[in-house]
Amino acid sequence: MKKAALLLLGVCLLFLNCKKETSSVFLCDVDYVEIIDGSTARVLFEVTHNDSLKTYTLNTTYQLENRNYTIGDDLVRLENFNINDNEATFDFYYGENLGAFCASLFERLPAHDHTAFTAQAERVLSGKGIGKWKIKRKEKIGS
């Protein structure tokens, strides 16, 4: 009876250990958005994979229509961009083509979501364009 209990305990520990090793944390977040000039934008992504944090900078063109920015080939969208002195608010959407960008960064891309959010940002650098906007607060759209 003791051998069976020890065997069962060993199998349970092995199962728990395997389950712990296969779970991973993967978060893709946005630190800032910068409109550099009349045609170029920069977005800094912060990616957390397990305990490792890495940053990735996307420099690409953008299109502006009314107060809506489409950055890259529908990689990121900023909608309802409103500036009040050194503060801005906007809705941040991850575009349909961002998946290919993410896949280019990782050999094996962990499953993750790109969740849209309403942002409150602060101008940290100004230049020819509308400036560099550090995202200070986010609220998930639809929550």
Ranges of H-type helices in the chain: 2-22, 98-105
Q: Which domain holds residue 41?
A: 26-140
Predicted confidence (pLDDT) per residue in 61-115, tens digit: 999 999 999 999 888 999 999 999 899 999 999 888 887 777 777 777 677 777 8
103-112 core/surface letters (b: 16 or more CB in 10 A; e: else): eeeeeeeeee
* 3, part of any domain: no
pLDDT of residue 19: 41
How many domains in the chain?
A: 1
* 84, part of any domain: yes
Q: φ and ψ at 21, to 5 degrees?
A: -70, -30
pTM for the model: 0.74
